[in-house]
Chain A
Amino acid sequence: MSQSRVGQILGRVPNTQFFGREAEIERLCRAGKGDLSADADRPAADRPAPSFLRRFRVDPATINLVLGPPRVGKTEILLKCFDRLFTERGHAVPVYHRIEQRETGVVVFAREFLATFLTAFTAFRRNDPNRLFELPGPLPTLVRGAAAEDSGWIRRLVDAFDLATQLGDPVAMLKCALSAPRVAAANTGLVPVVMIDDFHLVVPAANADERAGFFWGQEVLGSLASRSPRRLAAYGNANWVLCGLGRVLVEMLPADEELFGLIRLFEVRPLSDEAFEQTIGAMATARSLEVGESTTELIVQQLNRDLFYAGSLLDAAAAFGRPLKTFMQFERVYTEEVTQGRIARFLDAVLRDAAGDPARLRASLEAMHMVTEAGEAAPREAILECMTRYTTGAEGLLAELHLRELLNSDFEFVRPSVDPVLADYVRVRYRREVSGLPPSLVGDPLLGRRLRLAYSLMMSRHNRAVESKLVDVLSRFDFQSIPTASFLSVRDSNSGLNDAASSDGEDETRIRLPQIVCVSDFGSSDVRGVAWRLVSARGFDGPIYNEENEVDWLVTLIRSKEPLDMETLNRICERQETAGQRGSADRSARAVRWFISKEGFSAAAAEHLSSLGAYGSNYAQLDLLSDHLTNLGQEHRNRKPATEFELVIPTDDEAELIAVRTVEQIARSAAFDQGAINQIKTALIEACINAAEHGDSPDGKIYQRFQIDDDRLVIRVWNKGRVFDPEVEGPARRERKAGMEQRGRGLQIIRALMDDVRFERTDDGTSLVMTKLLRRPPSVVES
């Protein structure tokens, strides 16, 4: 069921303004339902009556942890999920409970949770969503309001809770409240999907009584995780969705194998640029607010796709009837919001909540300002030293700021938050409250700063997109064979897209890409208007995962308006060397250098790259490579199941002739002509020689698989052990190749006779995969 057809019950954002979260909602709904097979999506009338047997087939308890940074939209996903499940009227009964305040304590939590649960369950049973919005009365009133078929078990549950309350036993109250979903499931055959939002609030504030907070936080998790057969038999089953600040939730998980066995993680990431733009557009329309196209793009970049900030800004603009058609109009509203509007007040509250008292607040502000101004990693010791001037317990406070993602702290360094609005807020507040500078009479210096940055921010969007593409391309490197001339070679500034594309068929030089396992950012720099970013991609380019085959592709993405000249290239090379050394402590891997310049290279620079044994590409080639890798993957996925034959021969003298006889029959049955069959036979002979010559096969055998597809014969040859010295055309190994002329002759023959040749990594070696395409006569093709 798509979200647009779901009624809005708890969801705060109208469905017409809600974009880009369909996949998350769908996944969470399915998980909430415990993946109850296709039945979950069928109308109630079509479903067989539930039975205990069926119920117990479901995993005994599922805890879905919804994690994500602050204000990424987790709550709205939960609410939309609630609306969907409620509207579906299926097997799953949605319950949404939000922990309002961290100081509530276990008793209040238990009571409020039970009230919320019973209210939501009754609302669902009566198909009356209005009940969700009624003020919760005392528990006995919930018994009276329950559906007739439920009043019995609800009464017993409430009585048990009252008894625990009278005994003054908070643990018994908590367990009683948390067992409500299981009791409901056991008595109704339905599966409650219990969503608890802001679950991180069960962890005590830094200034609260820690023992009490941790006690009931872990008690909740412990109760949910119970797999005791006795309890399951008594209470049935339920699915839980716990949502909150990722860092806090992860911190509170005990090292309990059983608990982790029940947990499923859902990472909620920020909306895509496109979805956020759509949302801004819809929100502006709903507020009758004019927002320019470029301004929308600026909002996306400047607010880091934060829906709370966007809503606040649009509300403020709408409230005063101020359109956001120009950068100036937007930045004015933004500055007011960050200095004295809703955003400022909200961030005041966040900081106050994290710090607790004025001294700790001052220390927090100092730390955040220090890392914000540094713009990069600041030594942790320096930050702590600064904080200690204002408060004791700086370590704990720094940890609290980290948990709330107000900054990022590790054992050595502290980095600023990725939230640019928070950075502006910190600057403004620091200037006002710490630096002692006189306040502005009109406006704020932030406006000037934002206007200065606006255009470069807009540019950075495009740059980030290219950088993302590069990282995506590198992470998809997986031993594919690609034509070098098309993607990794730019001879001069004019040999751009057209030349590169046309050379695919002419230049047969190919490179086997490595398999990349890790991509790291080594930072960015610029020289005379030419900016670049250095990325390291580490992986393996040989058949075995050992040090010898470890490779480090140092990739430099260069933005310049002209083809890169020799002088700038040299400067970049120097800085690249330094950054590479600084960026990685372990430089043992062989380095392969790849320069990607937006506008290509001058003839001299291209020549120089060649002499360095480095690859050079332009942005267009990067796009082409991305498409090429996608197509290769698509081709692989779309292939129909093939007819396969396997053959194992000894590495003995002339055993390859048996393979040749076999492939001859197979190729003939697949309608290859005699000329092609002869070529296949010759190639197979060479593959077998390679396997026999270069293998350390412990069993002395050569394995072969012949696979017939519609239009091709794919032959895979391997042995168990170190198999082939695969084709390595990279500049780093050209020298080695010179001494392998004789050995290389076999591969030369194979490549010439077959349509595609590649090496694939297997668990115990490498297999040579050769493909021969079936070229049918034209008449056959036409028919």
Chain B
Amino acid sequence: MSVREIRSKLVGDAAIIYPGPYLNQFKGQRVEGRCQEFLGRGIRRVVINFEGTELINSIGVSILLGVIEAVNEMKGTLVLSNLSESNCDLFEILGLKSRLNIADTEENALAAIIRDSLAQGLELESLGPDVAAAIVD
């Protein structure tokens, strides 16, 4: 199930990271590293897309909390998207849900980021037509 490398992409000035099927210590550290990489490049808007993430363990959660903290310290925004019901329950159990930005889809996550960023004068077109449509909707 586990794929060693994680995927990520840039949509405008937002980074999207895909942790893969199992967010454990190893994958968590990879996500953390990739996120630090983006932050180092001045990209402060991050979406972590959990589509296809079947399992998250407690160590993965701990690392994820560290990532959120790092983004917040940089005055950035991090949104989690495409969480399965069981993964969503996991954050609920740990009492973390209220501290997280959660969107149901990647598009909605980006839209939430952009709404948050519009005040800072972000160009809507730079995000591509799909995202722009989601925001307009």
Which residues of chain A are within 8 angstroms of B89 by Cβ–Cβ distance? 679
Chain A residues numbered 639-666 whose CB sits less than 8 Å from any CB in chain B: 653-654, 657, 660
Which residues of chain B are within 8 angstroms of A748 by Cβ–Cβ distance? 93-94
Supposing A678-B86, A689-B58 touch, asked if A749 and B93 sit within 8 A by C-beta, the answer is yes
Which residues of chain B are within 8 angstroms of A657 by Cβ–Cβ distance? 1-2, 22, 55
- CB-defined interface of B72-108 with A at 8 Å, one 1/0 digit per residue? 0000000000001110011001100000000000000
Supposing A654-B22, A654-B24, A654-B26 touch, asked if A682 and B59 sit within 8 A by C-beta, the answer is no
Asked if B61 lies at the interface with its beta carbon under 8 angstroms from chain A, I say yes
Supposing A682-B86, A748-B93 touch, asked if A742 and B62 sit within 8 A by C-beta, the answer is yes
- CB-defined interface of A745-772 with B at 8 Å, one 1/0 digit per residue? 1101100110000000000000000000
Asked if B57 lies at the interface with its beta carbon under 8 angstroms from chain A, I say yes
Interface residue from A654, A681, A746 paired with B58 (Cβ < 8 Å): A746
User: Within the complex, what minimum Cβ distance (angstroms) separates A663 from chain B?
Assistant: 12
User: Within the complex, what minimum Cβ distance (angstroms) separates A690 from chain B?
Assistant: 9
Q: Which residue of B lies closest to A679 (CB)?
A: B86
User: Within the complex, what minimum Cβ distance (angstroms) separates B6 from chain A?
Assistant: 14
Which residues of chain A are within 8 angstroms of B86 by Cβ–Cβ distance? 675, 678-679, 682
Supposing A653-B26, A657-B22 touch, asked if A752 and B93 sit within 8 A by C-beta, the answer is yes
User: Within the complex, what minimum Cβ distance (angstroms) separates A661 from chain B?
Assistant: 8
Q: Which residue of B lies closest to A752 (CB)?
A: B93
Cα separation A751 to B46 with both chains bound (whole Å): 32
Q: Which residue of B lies closest to A743 (CB)?
A: B58
Chain A residues numbered 662-678 whose CB sits less than 8 Å from any CB in chain B: 675, 678
Which residues of chain B are within 8 angstroms of A753 by Cβ–Cβ distance? 93
Number of interface residues of B (CB under 8 A): 19
Contact A682 B62 (CB under 8 A): no
Contact B94 A689 (CB under 8 A): no
Cα separation A371 to B89 with both chains bound (whole Å): 69
Contact A745 B61 (CB under 8 A): yes
Asked if A685 lies at the interface with its beta carbon under 8 angstroms from chain B, I say yes
Asked if A405 lies at the interface with its beta carbon under 8 angstroms from chain B, I say no
Cα separation A753 to B93 with both chains bound (whole Å): 9
Which residues of chain B are within 8 angstroms of A654 by Cβ–Cβ distance? 2, 22, 24, 26
Q: Which residue of B lies closest to A658 (CB)?
A: B1
Asked if A306 lies at the interface with its beta carbon under 8 angstroms from chain B, I say no
Asked if A686 lies at the interface with its beta carbon under 8 angstroms from chain B, I say yes
Cα separation A746 to B61 with both chains bound (whole Å): 10
Contact A681 B57 (CB under 8 A): no
Cα separation A439 to B43 with both chains bound (whole Å): 108
Q: Which residue of A lies closest to B21 (CB)?
A: A657
Contact B58 A686 (CB under 8 A): yes
User: Within the complex, what minimum Cβ distance (angstroms) separates A768 from chain B?
Assistant: 14
Q: Which residue of B lies closest to A746 (CB)?
A: B58
Q: Which residue of A lies closest to B1 (CB)?
A: A657
Cα separation A745 to B61 with both chains bound (whole Å): 9
Contact B55 A660 (CB under 8 A): yes
User: Within the complex, what minimum Cβ distance (angstroms) separates A422 from chain B?
Assistant: 65
User: Within the complex, what minimum Cβ distance (angstroms) separates A331 from chain B?
Assistant: 67
- CB-defined interface of B58-74 with A at 8 Å, one 1/0 digit per residue? 11011000000000000
Contact B2 A745 (CB under 8 A): no
Which residues of chain A are within 8 angstroms of B22 by Cβ–Cβ distance? 654, 657
Which residues of chain B are within 8 angstroms of A689 by Cβ–Cβ distance? 57-59
Supposing A686-B58, A742-B62 touch, asked if A749 and B90 sit within 8 A by C-beta, the answer is yes
Interface residue from A685, A742, A746 paired with B55 (Cβ < 8 Å): A685
User: Within the complex, what minimum Cβ distance (angstroms) separates A692 from chain B?
Assistant: 11
Chain B residues numbered 48-62 whose CB sits less than 8 Å from any CB in chain A: 55-59, 61-62
Contact B58 A745 (CB under 8 A): yes
Cα separation A681 to B1 with both chains bound (whole Å): 14
Chain B residues numbered 85-137 whose CB sits less than 8 Å from any CB in chain A: 85-86, 89-90, 93-94
Cα separation A653 to B1 with both chains bound (whole Å): 13
Which residues of chain A are within 8 angstroms of B26 by Cβ–Cβ distance? 653-654
Interface residue from B24, B55, B94 paired with A745 (Cβ < 8 Å): B94
Contact A682 B55 (CB under 8 A): yes
Which residues of chain B are within 8 angstroms of A749 by Cβ–Cβ distance? 58, 90, 93-94
Which residues of chain B are within 8 angstroms of A742 by Cβ–Cβ distance? 58, 62
Cα separation A752 to B86 with both chains bound (whole Å): 12
Cα separation A726 to B40 with both chains bound (whole Å): 41
Which residues of chain A are within 8 angstroms of B56 by Cβ–Cβ distance? 682
Q: Which residue of B lies closest to A688 (CB)?
A: B57
Among B1, B58, B59, B90, max chain A CB count under 10 A is at: B58
User: Within the complex, what minimum Cβ distance (angstroms) separates B29 from chain A?
Assistant: 12
Cα separation A571 to B62 with both chains bound (whole Å): 48
Contact B90 A681 (CB under 8 A): no
- CB-defined interface of B11-40 with A at 8 Å, one 1/0 digit per residue? 000000000001010100000000000000
Contact A681 B94 (CB under 8 A): no
Cα separation A654 to B59 with both chains bound (whole Å): 12
Contact B93 A686 (CB under 8 A): no
- CB-defined interface of A374-390 with B at 8 Å, one 1/0 digit per residue? 00000000000000000
Contact B85 A745 (CB under 8 A): no
Contact A745 B90 (CB under 8 A): no
Cα separation A682 to B61 with both chains bound (whole Å): 12
Which residues of chain A are within 8 angstroms of B93 by Cβ–Cβ distance? 748-749, 752-753
- CB-defined interface of A531-574 with B at 8 Å, one 1/0 digit per residue? 00000000000000000000000000000000000000000000
Q: Which residue of B lies closest to A654 (CB)?
A: B2
Which residues of chain B are within 8 angstroms of A686 by Cβ–Cβ distance? 57-58
Contact A681 B62 (CB under 8 A): no
User: Within the complex, what minimum Cβ distance (angstroms) separates A552 from chain B?
Assistant: 34
Chain A residues numbered 201-229 whose CB sits less than 8 Å from any CB in chain B: none
Which residues of chain A are within 8 angstroms of B2 by Cβ–Cβ distance? 654, 657
Cα separation A126 to B128 with both chains bound (whole Å): 113
Cα separation A745 to B62 with both chains bound (whole Å): 9
Cα separation A679 to B90 with both chains bound (whole Å): 9
Which residues of chain B are within 8 angstroms of A675 by Cβ–Cβ distance? 85-86
Which residues of chain B are within 8 angstroms of A745 by Cβ–Cβ distance? 58, 61-62, 94
Cα separation A622 to B90 with both chains bound (whole Å): 37
Contact B57 A685 (CB under 8 A): yes
Which residues of chain A are within 8 angstroms of B1 by Cβ–Cβ distance? 657
Contact B55 A681 (CB under 8 A): yes
User: Within the complex, what minimum Cβ distance (angstroms) separates B69 from chain A?
Assistant: 14
Contact B90 A682 (CB under 8 A): yes
Q: Which residue of A lies closest to B93 (CB)?
A: A752
Among A653, A654, A679, max chain B CB count under 10 A is at: A654
- CB-defined interface of A592-605 with B at 8 Å, one 1/0 digit per residue? 00000000000000
Cα separation A653 to B26 with both chains bound (whole Å): 9
Sample 30 A-B pairs with CB under 8 A, ordered by A number: A653-B26, A654-B2, A654-B22, A654-B24, A654-B26, A657-B55, A660-B55, A675-B85, A678-B84, A678-B85, A678-B86, A679-B89, A681-B55, A682-B56, A682-B57, A682-B86, A685-B57, A686-B57, A689-B57, A689-B59, A742-B58, A742-B62, A745-B58, A745-B94, A748-B93, A749-B90, A749-B93, A749-B94, A752-B93, A753-B93
- What residues make up the interface of A, taking CB atoms closer than 8 Å to B? 653-654, 657, 660, 675, 678-679, 681-682, 685-686, 689, 742, 745-746, 748-749, 752-753
- What residues make up the interface of B, taking CB atoms closer than 8 Å to A? 1-2, 22, 24, 26, 55-59, 61-62, 84-86, 89-90, 93-94
Given contacts A657-B55, A682-B86, A689-B59, 7 further A-B contacts (CB under 8 A): A653-B26, A654-B24, A675-B85, A675-B86, A678-B85, A685-B55, A753-B93
9 pairs of A and B residues whose beta carbons are closest in the complex: A678-B86, A752-B93, A745-B58, A746-B58, A685-B57, A654-B2, A657-B1, A742-B62, A686-B58
